[in-house]
Amino acid sequence: MRVQIQRIDSSLPLPKYESKGAVGFDLVTRENTTIAPGAIGLVPGNVIVQVPVGYALMIVPRSSLPRKKGLICPHSFGVIDEDYHGEKDEIFVQVKNITDQPVTVERGERIAQGLFVKVEKAEWSEVDSHGAETRGGFGSTGTHT
C-alpha cells in the first residue's frame, strides 16, 4: 500500500517498521514535551498522513510507555480518519502522566505506533426487535447458568 505522508520537521526520520514482522510503524516525536504530574498532554508526532480510502489509521501506545515513561494513553488509542490530512492535521499522541513527577518526552523518542486497519461503513437497517433472547446486559458473558 502506498501512503502519502508529510513531515513537519524533515530533519527527523519518517516513521518506520522496526522489524520484519512489525505490524505497526513507530512515530517519532517532533519536540520535547513535558507533562505535569496527573496532567494530560499532547505530544506532536511530526507527520500528516493521508489515510487511504477504506482504511483507518490507529495510533496506539508502545507497550513500554507506562513502564519506561510513566505515561498512558487515556483514550486507549486514537483513530485517524481518511479525511484528516489538512495542512494543520499533524498527528498528536495524547498521554497522561500517572507519576508524581513531571515527565518529559524527548524530541525523536518513539512513544506510539500506527497501524492501518481496513474498515467498512455500515448501512443501517432499522428493526423493531432483533428477536433474540436477552443475555443479561453489559458485562454478562459467563454469568448465565
Sign of torsion over alpha carbons 13, 16, 19, 24: positive
Q: Which 8-state DSSP code applies to residue 52?
A: P
pLDDT per residue as tens digits for the range 62-83:
999 999 999 999 988 999 999 9
Q: What is the pLDDT of residue 35?
A: 98
* Reported pTM: 0.86
- 22 is written with which cell numbers? 512489525
pLDDT at 32 over 80: yes
pLDDT per residue as tens digits for the range 130-141:
887 776 777 667
Q: How confident is the model at residue 52 (pLDDT cuts 50, 70, 90)?
A: very high
- Domains along the chain? 35-118 (2.70.40.10)
CA distance 80 to 14: 18
Alpha helices of 13-106 — where are they, by DSSP H? 65-69
